[in-house]
Amino acid sequence: MHRGSNQLRLADFNQAVVLDVVRRSPGVSRAELQRRSGLSSQTISNITRRLIDDRLISESTPEGGARGRPSIPLAVNGDGAFSIGVHIDPARLTIVLLDLAGEVRRQQQLRTPQATHPTEVTSLIADRVAALMAEAGVDRDRVLGLGIAAPGPLDVRAGVVLDPPQLPNWRGVQLRADLHDATGLPVLLDKDVTAAATAELRSLNDTSTDFVFLYLGSGVGASVVVENQVLRGTTNNIGEIGDIIVDPDAEQLEGFGRRGGLAAACVPEALVIQAARLGLLPLPNLDDYLAIDDSCTELCRLASGGNGGATRILRRAAARVAVGLGVLVNLLDVPRVVIGGPLWNRLSDTFLPVLPELVSAELVATRDDVVVAGSAVGEHVAAQGAGELVLDHFLAPRPSALMVG
C-alpha cells in the first residue's frame, strides 16, 4: 500500500515548497532545492526521500564530467498523480486527464445534455470521469481532484453556480458538492475564462507577456494575465464583457442584453439568428444549445465554402469583436490578445486573417504592435486549465480553500 495522493493532499508546507520547485524546474538537484527553498539539507533529504517513496518525483542519471559527487537530477513523476479537468459549456462538455507533469493524457469532447435538471450533467460527468480513469489505467487514489470550469457568475468560494445566463435552469446549483458526492473526488469550481487563462499562461512557459484571453463559446468572456498572474476579480467573476457596446448601429436582438453589445455580436445564438434572418439557415430551436451549436457549425461551414451571406455575417462579427478587443487593450495596455474556447476553431479561419488589422485600427497610437493569436493550447483550453488549477491547489505552497473533499 502506498500513501499516494492522500499523502500529497495532506502535504505540509515544506513538502509543497519542494514539490513546487521540482515541478517548475525539471532536473533540479537537492543542493539547488536547498538553496531555493531555504530549507535545511536534512529536511530536503527527508522530503525528497518521501516524495520518491510516494512516486511523486524520481531521480534520473546525473551527467558526468563534474568534479566530486555528481548531483542527481530530480523531476516530477508524471504517473505519480493526476487531475481531471472538465469544462462545461452549454453545448460542449470537454474532459481532460492531466498527469502530475501537466501533460494531457486523455481528452474527450461530448455534447452537453440539454437537461431540464443539472443532475443529468452531473451524472454524465461522473460516468465519464470514472470511464476516463479506467481507460487510462489510473488508480483513483492517484487522482488529486476534479476541476470544473463553468460559465459565470459563480460563487467560487461556495462552489455554487449562481445564475449564468447561458445555463438556464442552473440557478444556485451546488455543483461542487454535487460532483463531490457523485465522484468521491475533491472538486474545485472556477470560471471558464479563469481556467482558460491559467492553461494558456502555463503553455507560454514564463515568457512573461501580459495578455487578455478572449473566450468564445456559447457565451463570451475575458480574462486578464498581468505579470504571470491570472487576475480573477474580487468575487472571482472577472471578465463579464458581453454588454460592451461594439456596434452602435447594430439592430436589436432580443435576449442579448444591450443593443450592439459584444454578446449579440459573436455568440452562436446571435450568429444563427442573423443567418436565419438572411434566409441562410432555418432558425433552430433557441432553447436548445445543441441545435444552436449545430446551426453555427453549418454557418461557419457555409462561410468556408464561399457563401457570401455567411461570410459577411462572420466578417461583421470579426469587426465587432475587434472593437471589443480594442476596449480591452486600450484599457489594460497589454501587448497580446489570445482567443480560444469551443467556438474559436470554427471562426478562426475567417477571423484571424482580418482581426489583427481591425484591432490595430482601434488602438491608441502607442500600441499598434499588439499581437492577436489563437490559443496555443487549443479547444480544450478551459478543461486543461481546470485540471491545472487542481494541480496548483495541491502543489503550490499557498493552497487556496476552494476545494471540497
CA distances from 241 to 154, 173, 188, 363 (A): 15, 23, 24, 18
Which three three-digit cell numbers place residue 61? 542519471
Distance, in Å, from the CA atom of 221 to the CA atom of 132, rounded to the nearest integer, reads 29
294 lines the binding site for a copy of itself (CB under 8 A): no
Based on the shown chain and the rule CB under 8 A, indicate whether residue 252 belongs to the binding site for a copy of itself: no
Binding part of the chain for a copy of itself, among 115-123, 176-184, 236-244, 293-301 by CB under 8 A, reads 236-244
Q: How far is the CB of 350 from a copy of itself (least distance, A)?
A: 24
**Per CB under 8 A, does 233 bind a copy of itself?**
yes
Q: Which residue has the cell 454524465?
A: 124
Task: Report the C-alpha dihedral over residues 292, 296, 302, 308, rounded to 10 degrees.
Answer: 100
Q: Which three cell numbers stand for residue 84?
A: 481531471
Binding region for a copy of itself (CB under 8 A) out of 53-61, 64-72, 135-143, 235-243: 235-243
Among residues 166, 201, 147, the alpha carbon closest in space to that of 338 is found at 201
Alpha helices of 167-249 — where are they, by DSSP H? Answer: 175-183, 192-203
Query: By CB under 8 A, is residue 240 in contact with a copy of itself?
Result: yes
User: Counting contacts by CB under 8 A, is residue 37 touching a copy of itself?
Assistant: no
In the list 42, 61, 116, 366, the residue contacting a copy of itself (rule: CB under 8 A) is 366
Residues 171 and 163: beta-carbon distance below 8 Å: yes
Residue 259 CB, shortest distance to a copy of itself, in Å, is: 7
Of positions 80, 326, 342, 387, contacts a copy of itself by CB under 8 A: 326
153 binds a copy of itself (CB under 8 A): yes
Of the candidate residues 139, 181, 210, 288, the single one contacting a copy of itself (CB under 8 A): 210
| Site for a copy of itself contains 368 (CB under 8 A) | no
Asked if 241 interacts with a copy of itself (CB under 8 A), we say yes
Residues that bind a copy of itself (CB under 8 A): 152-153, 155, 162-163, 210, 222, 224, 226, 231-241, 243-246, 248-249, 259-260, 323, 326-328, 330-335, 362, 364-367
